[in-house]
Amino acid sequence: MLPDLLAYTARVLPGLLLIGACFALAREPLLRIAALMLGFVLIRDAMTPLGFWRVGTAGPVPWLRFTDDAGTLLVFGAATLALTVTVLRLDDDLRALVRWGRPVTAIPGLAGGALIAAPVLLLSLSTPLTERGGPVAASLLPALLLFALAGNLAEEVLFRGFLQGHLERSGPVRAALLSAVMFAACHAYLASTVTDLGWPLLVFTLYEGLICAFLRLRHGVAAAALAHGLAIFLLSAG
């Protein structure tokens, strides 16, 4: 685990230092949000060549699997959560954009997660599990769930908290649509250069982004984060 994590850190650290400098120097909130989006793309896409996750398609249907090392999943989850908390504590302007919602948002969040995952799972039923990532050990599921919830909390704070919150001055529905489209667009390199998944991944992430954006609009960031994390867990749990 440790050599792989060190190799990953060495790969992303130079870019993260530059992105961190952009974040520190930018006075406009939108520029700081853009810097964080670049950091998100770097952190996520660099996981692919080092084997921390695998993505593919079964016909037109994307599938997803993460590393089978529980320790690596927990380290990634804890580090992502720490980075999210640090940004929220350091930047008052961005923190003010995040509307978390009420505790009752757990129900729409769970429903949203099932709605995101259901089409992919149903369309995958005709394909043998061995051709869409293979089985996942039951012992890995708790670490995988924590990783999915923590990692996708960070994405939702960025896209539905910071970005959608900032864009709401142009109208809440327009802001929701823009955050969903930007979310899908930030998967373009993953779809076309880091992997060869192409349009199925972009269609899925746009669908996912729309559900999370409108959950944020109606119920807050917490519901969107729960939906996103649950969907990724369901899709990667085999």
Residue 171 has φ and ψ, to the nearest 5°, of: 120, 135
pLDDT at 31: 95
Between the alpha carbon of residue 145 and those of residues 1, 29, 69, the distances in Å are 19, 32, 13
Run of H or E residues at 56:
strand 53-58
pLDDT at 50: 86
Run of H or E residues at 65:
strand 61-66
* pLDDT average per 10 residues of sequence, the chain (238 residues): 87 95 94 95 91 85 91 94 94 95 85 96 89 91 96 96 94 96 94 88 95 96 96 94
pLDDT at 185: 96
CB of 70 within 8 A of CB of 139?
yes
CB of 234 within 8 A of CB of 150?
no
pLDDT at 51: 87
pLDDT at 182: 96
pLDDT at 60: 80
User: Which amino acid type is present at position 66?
Assistant: F
Residue 198 has φ and ψ, to the nearest 5°, of: 70, -145
pTM of the model: 0.94
pLDDT at 3: 84
Q: Which residues of 19-50 are buried (b: 16+ CB within 10 A; e: fewer)?
A: beebbeeeeebeebbbbbbbbbbbbbbbbeee
pLDDT at 102: 80
pLDDT at 52: 92
pLDDT at 78: 94
CB of 160 within 8 A of CB of 179?
yes
Which of 26, 233, 3, 5 is CA-nearest to residue 140?
Answer: 233
Structural tokens at position 183: 């979310």
Between the alpha carbon of residue 150 and those of residues 76, 128, 202, 228, the distances in Å are 9, 30, 23, 10
